[in-house]
């Protein structure tokens, strides 16, 4: 088998404008691009191609990625867009570098808050005949998934509350400017019910943010003497069917498929995966638990016990969402790419106040769509795959 | 690292029509997938990844409508992503699938999509929403007015006339009459085009593409897979994209970044694709071209951007020497092109499909004799995103 081109994350940025009315989305894109390039020590002239992801409905524009032409440095460059999800932008960028046709890629996704009603916008994503009158938005779909899981796993609610409490505690340490204050278990469980069984404390309100990453191939990284990249050792992505009625919402076979792709590529034992940490989808705490199972880190039979023991808290067996996850900061459309960035930065050793010491491997998981329709898994390491093998 | 070769092994196209009341959106996608799989004699289980080709959601009235197409393309639990670069989405989706295979992520990838533009209500009202909310949307811009301004500039800069524009329509309708998939297949004359209703001067009704419904799917595979399974294939030897600015105002007036008469970024995309394919003299080395041209005038600057004529000369070469007709020096849009069928989400994929059929020798009545190498292009956004692909036998 020919040697595979190695891909590393060498720069990143998150921008969460505090006064969005004073800066247009294009200006924010421009600022995020510059910040990511600065972090990578590159200029736009070093970038061969760009993959962006935006959501037309949230942005209030048809073909929203058009506006990014100038602001992300796309004029005269190759811009591609994956509106299916922000995570897919990372996957496509990495594939483009691996193909040998590009040495570098800039990847960006954004999630503005300019629409009057996020829920109504999400309802446009349902088929017009069967589901749209329900009404079904992202949160309703996540709640249906939580219901299906609660019906199968005794004591699950206790684990969901513990996950929420953990992530909000971790989020308030990692990003005190963005994240809400920690919340006691009692207040999480007994809070206002949004969509049963999801309480107000179990989700973070939608936020405005942009996330950008810079990736490059191994030769470029060596030539530029770029220190401490996060090497992509494995990637997997897969989808569930579109109609919720066609799915068993208590299972997530597409995540299993994505995990198998990523672990096989990374040479990781599917039965006994080991990572220094994980960043996983957690639009609700139930998502984090189902993600841990899909990634082979914790079967559902152990969710309650593992949560009680703090296996996935800072200092536990495998810390999960040290960033606080989407439960602490929720730029709706970008959360998957945020998880990928967080895991990469932990491996690069630049995660900031929530940096875990001696991180050598990390796994990121992003989910998008109703009840986690799309699942993407990325395995990062301090060394490229070839050296490990 | 040398990029591994990627082949096209299956092609499926609907017959493009103004409406398809007999098929809903996912059914239309499925129709094309079935045709493409039959073409390469493979099944859905053989597809390891799916790249979904879907342009603005607003044309379908469903947000992220690709989610509803997952089962239509057999993608359940498989690698799946959607691409959208506006009108160039189809060629961009093929480029993404090319990356999947060239990167070694999989050996076989399905690219599929469909559109129902004729059933969206008023596409120009929807397409007005692609522009900036503050500066250009209120003008009001549409894709017709946008490219009518380009035509005015072409007339001023190169002396192109309304009759020259009509000549493209006559040529493409002549070609489409030979293509059973085309939407507009009736032959026409310069007089008829000139007498058609004025839409946005100098663009008349017959200078415009139709609003079409239909699907297209293609199967791509690695060279290793093709050899191992002894499959027939044609090869993608060049692939590239480039972009212009978002604001139309940046392409005209004092200090413009690119001249709105031309297709500068399309030229960059074609040049990069040629470089990858080793093409140094397009006129001599390209046998056939399918160039995305939704309005008659834009075919001229697409021909020039593809290096098939010098800047500002293509209208004369068609008028005086018939260069771009079937039987001419370099036939352009032998399928009838976008002027004769425009199901937006897949229109640029159809350009590649048609070039592939040509170099395969399977184009039927509109076959260019002896075609071995061709170029296809796609335009998206506000004449902003451009893709190019060289396909060889």
- pLDDT, tens digit, 9 for 90 and up, residues B259-268: 999 999 999 9
Closest CA to B245 of A50, A76, A27: A76
Chain A hits for B384, Cβ within 8 Å: 66, 69
User: Per-residue pLDDT averaged across A256-275, rounded?
Assistant: 97
Pairing label, strands B6-13, B213-222: antiparallel
Buried/exposed B120-142: b ≥16 CB within 10 Å, e otherwise: beebbebbbbbbbeeebeeeebb
What tens digit of pLDDT does each residue of A176-235 get?
Answer: 988 888 999 999 999 999 999 999 999 999 999 999 999 999 999 999 999 999 999 999
Chain B hits for A77, Cβ within 8 Å: 242-243
Distance (Å) from the alpha carbon of B210 to chain A's nearest alpha carbon: 20
Cβ pair A82:B69 closer than 8 A? no
The residues that bridge with B115 in the sheet, in sequence order, are B214
User: Per-residue pLDDT averaged across B37-42, rounded?
Assistant: 98
B391: left (phi over 0), alpha (psi -120 to 50) or beta: beta
Tokens found for residue B296: 């008659």
Q: Among B25, B48, B105, B251, which would you mutate to test the A interface (most chain A Cβ atoms within 10 Å of its Cβ)?
A: B105
Q: With helix as H, strand as E and coil as C, how does B50-101 read?
A: EEEECCCHHHCCCCCHHHHHCCCCCCECCEEEEECECECHHHHHHHHHHHHH
Q: With helix as H, strand as E and coil as C, how does B310-350 read?
A: CCCCHHHHHHHHCCCCCCCCCCECCCCCHHHCCCHHHHHHH
Cβ pair A63:B79 closer than 8 A? no
Q: What is the DSSP letter of A202?
A: G
Sign, Cα dihedral of A238, B86, A67, A31? positive
Q: How far apart are CA A129 and CA A132, in angstroms?
A: 7
Mean pLDDT of chain A: 95
Tokens found for residue A45: 């002239």
Q: A138-152 vs A156-174: helix axis angle to the nearest 10? A: 130
pLDDT of residue A112: 87
Percentage of chain B exceeding pLDDT 90: 91
Q: Among A5, A53, A64, A101, which would you mutate to test the B interface (most chain B Cβ atoms within 10 Å of its Cβ)?
A: A101
What tens digit of pLDDT does each residue of B44-79 get?
Answer: 999 999 999 999 999 999 999 999 999 999 999 999
Q: Among A25, A67, A75, A378, which would you mutate to test the B interface (most chain B Cβ atoms within 10 Å of its Cβ)?
A: A75
**Token pair 């589901």: residue:** A131
Asked if residue B252 lies in contact with residue B245, where contact means CB atoms within 8 angstroms, the answer is: no
Any B CB within 8 A of A4 CB: yes
Q: How far apart are CA B358 and CA B288, in angstroms?
A: 8
User: Per-residue pLDDT averaged across A274-303, rounded?
Assistant: 98
Which of A78, A81, A254 is opposite residue B240, by nearest beta carbon? A78
The residues that bridge with A49 in the sheet, in sequence order, are A78, A105
pLDDT of residue A3: 56
| Residue B1: pLDDT band with limits 50, 70, 90 | low
Q: Which of A128-142, A208-222, A316-330 has the lowest mean pLDDT?
A: A128-142
The residues that bridge with A110 in the sheet, in sequence order, are A210
Cβ pair B84:A63 closer than 8 A? yes
In degrees and rounded to multiples of 5, residue A233 shows phi and psi of -95, -25
Number of H helices, E strands in chain A: 15, 11
Cβ pair A82:B64 closer than 8 A? no
Q: Which of A115-124, B88-97, B218-227 has the lowest mean pLDDT?
A: A115-124
A contact residues 46-85, partner B, Cβ 8 Å cutoff: 49, 55-57, 60-63, 65-70, 74-85
Q: How far apart are CA B62 and CA B85, in angstroms?
A: 17
Nearest residue of chain B to residue A2 (CA atoms): B104
Chain A hits for B130, Cβ within 8 Å: 61-63, 66
pLDDT of residue A1: 38
User: Per-residue pLDDT averaged across A236-265, rounded?
Assistant: 97
HSE, CB side, 13 Å, CA atoms: give it for residue A48: 17
Chain A hits for B58, Cβ within 8 Å: 56, 62
pLDDT of residue A2: 46
| Residue A39: pLDDT band with limits 50, 70, 90 | very high
Q: How far apart are CA B283 and CA B288, in angstroms?
A: 10
The radius of gyration of chain B from alpha carbons, rounded to an integer in Å, stands at 19
Q: How far apart are CA A233 and CA A373, in angstroms?
A: 24
In degrees and rounded to multiples of 5, residue A177 shows phi and psi of -70, -35
Pairing label, strands B288-290, B373-380: parallel
pLDDT of residue B360: 98
Q: How far apart are CA A284 and CA A286, in angstroms?
A: 5
Pairing label, strands B198-200, A277-279: unpaired
Chain B hits for A238, Cβ within 8 Å: 77-80
Cβ pair B241:A79 closer than 8 A? yes
Asked if residue B237 lies in contact with residue B54, where contact means CB atoms within 8 angstroms, the answer is: no
A contact residues 244-273, partner B, Cβ 8 Å cutoff: 246, 253-254, 256-257, 261
Closest CA to B88 of B332, B302, B371: B302
Asked if residue A213 lies in contact with residue A340, where contact means CB atoms within 8 angstroms, the answer is: yes
Closest CA to B93 of B376, B367, B392: B376
B contact residues 121-180, partner A, Cβ 8 Å cutoff: 126-127, 129-130, 132-133
Chain A hits for B381, Cβ within 8 Å: 63, 66, 69
pLDDT of A386 higher than 80: no
Nearest residue of chain A to residue B257 (CA atoms): A75
Chain B hits for A370, Cβ within 8 Å: 67
Question: How many beta-carbon pairs below 8 A join chains A and B?
Answer: 198
B contact residues 216-275, partner A, Cβ 8 Å cutoff: 239-247, 250, 257, 265, 268-269
Burial class of A46 by CB neighbour count within 10 A (0 to 12, 13 to 18, 19+): middle
Chain B hits for A57, Cβ within 8 Å: 57, 63-64
Which of A85, A100, A127 is opposite residue B2, by nearest beta carbon? A100
| Residue A19: pLDDT band with limits 50, 70, 90 | confident
Any B CB within 8 A of A373 CB: yes
Chain A hits for B80, Cβ within 8 Å: 84, 237-239, 374
Mean pLDDT of chain B: 96
Chain B hits for A4, Cβ within 8 Å: 104
pLDDT of A371 higher than 50: yes
Residues in chain A: 389
A contact residues 84-143, partner B, Cβ 8 Å cutoff: 84-85, 88, 91-92, 94-96, 98-101, 121-122, 124-128
């Amino acid at each position: 088998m020919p040697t595979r081109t190695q891909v590393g994350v060498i720069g990143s940025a998150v921008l969460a404008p505090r006064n969005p009315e004073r800066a247009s989305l294009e200006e924010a894109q421009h600022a995020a691009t510059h910040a990511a390039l600065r972090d990578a020590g590159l200029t736009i002239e070093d970038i061969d191609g760009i993959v962006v992801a935006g959501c037309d409905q949230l942005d209030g524009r048809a073909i929203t990625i058009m506006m990014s032409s100038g602001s992300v440095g796309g004029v005269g460059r190759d811009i591609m867009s994956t509106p299916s999800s922000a995570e897919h932008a990372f996957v496509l960028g990495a594939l483009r570098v691996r193909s040998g046709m590009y040495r570098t890629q800039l990847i960006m996704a954004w999630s503005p808050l300019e629409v009057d009603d996020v829920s109504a916008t999400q309802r446009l994503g349902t088929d017009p005949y069967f589901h749209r009158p329900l009404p079904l938005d992202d949160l309703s779909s996540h709640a249906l998934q939580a219901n299906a899981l609660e019906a199968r796993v005794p004591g699950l609610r206790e684990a969901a509350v513990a996950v929420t409490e953990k992530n909000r505690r971790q989020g308030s340490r990692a990003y005190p400017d963005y994240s809400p204050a920690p919340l006691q278990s009692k207040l999480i469980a007994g809070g206002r019910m949004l969509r049963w069984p999801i309480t107000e404390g179990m989700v973070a309100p939608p936020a405005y943010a942009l996330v950008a990453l810079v990736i490059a191939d191994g030769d470029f990284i060596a030539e530029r003497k770029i220190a401490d990249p996060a090497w992509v050792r494995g990637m997997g992505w897969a989808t569930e069917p579109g109609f919720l009625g066609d799915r068993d919402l208590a299972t997530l076979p597409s995540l299993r498929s994505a995990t198998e792709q990523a672990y096989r590529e990374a040479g990781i034992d599917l039965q006994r995966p080991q990572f220094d940490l994980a960043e996983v989808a957690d639009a609700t705490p139930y998502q984090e638990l189902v993600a841990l199972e899909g990634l082979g880190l914790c079967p559902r039979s152990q969710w309650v016990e593992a949560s009680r023991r703090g296996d996935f808290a800072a200092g536990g067996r495998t810390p999960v969402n040290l960033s606080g996850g989407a439960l602490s900061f929720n730029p709706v459309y970008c959360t998957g790419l945020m998880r990928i960035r967080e895991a990469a930065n932990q491996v690069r050793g630049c995660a900031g106040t929530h940096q875990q010491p001696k991180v050598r491997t990390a796994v990121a998981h992003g989910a998008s769509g109703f009840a986690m329709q799309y699942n993407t898994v990325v395995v990062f390491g301090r060394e490229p795959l070839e050296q490990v093998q | 690292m040398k990029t591994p070769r990627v082949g096209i092994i299956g092609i499926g196209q609907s017959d493009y029509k103004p409406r398809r009341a007999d098929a809903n959106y996912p059914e239309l996608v499925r129709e094309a997938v079935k045709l493409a799989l039959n073409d390469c004699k493979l099944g859905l289980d053989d597809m390891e990844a799916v790249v979904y080709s879907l342009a603005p959601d607003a044309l379908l009235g469903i947000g992220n409508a690709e989610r509803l197409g997952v089962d239509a393309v057999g993608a359940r639990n498989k690698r799946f992503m959607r691409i959208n670069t506006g009108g160039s989405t189809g060629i961009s989706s093929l480029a993404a699938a090319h990356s999947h295979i060239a990167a070694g992520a999989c050996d076989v990838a399905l690219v599929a999509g469909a559109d129902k533009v004729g059933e969206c209500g008023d596409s120009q009202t929807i397409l007005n929403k692609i522009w900036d909310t503050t500066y250009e949307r209120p003008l009001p811009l549409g894709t017709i007015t946008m490219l009518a301004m380009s035509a005015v500039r072409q007339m001023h800069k190169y002396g192109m006339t309304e009759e020259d524009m009509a000549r493209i329509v006559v040529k493409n309708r002549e070609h489409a009459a030979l293509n059973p998939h085309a939407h507009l297949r009736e032959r026409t004359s310069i007089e008829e085009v000139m007498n058609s209703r004025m839409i946005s001067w100098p663009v008349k009704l017959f200078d415009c593409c139709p609003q079409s419904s239909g699907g297209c799917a293609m199967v791509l595979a690695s060279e290793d897979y093709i050899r191992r399974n002894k499959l027939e294939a044609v090869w993608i030897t060049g692939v590239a994209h480039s972009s212009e600015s978002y604001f139309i105002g940046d392409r005209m007036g004092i200090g413009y970044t690119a001249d709105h008469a031309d297709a500068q970024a399309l030229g960059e995309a074609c040049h990069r694709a040629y470089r990858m394919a080793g093409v140094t003299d397009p006129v001599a080395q390209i046998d056939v071209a399918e160039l995305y041209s939704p309005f008659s005038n834009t075919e001229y600057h697409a021909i020039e951007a593809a290096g098939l004529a010098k800047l500002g000369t293509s209208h004369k070469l068609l008028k005086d020497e018939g260069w771009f007709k079937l039987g001419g020096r370099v036939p352009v849009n032998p399928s009838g092109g976008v002027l004769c069928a425009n199901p937006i989400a897949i229109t640029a994929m159809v350009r590649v499909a048609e070039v592939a059929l040509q170099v395969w020798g399977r184009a039927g009545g509109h076959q260019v004799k002896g075609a071995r190498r061709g170029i296809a292009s796609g335009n998206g956004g506000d004449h902003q995103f451009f893709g190019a692909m060289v396909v060889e036998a």
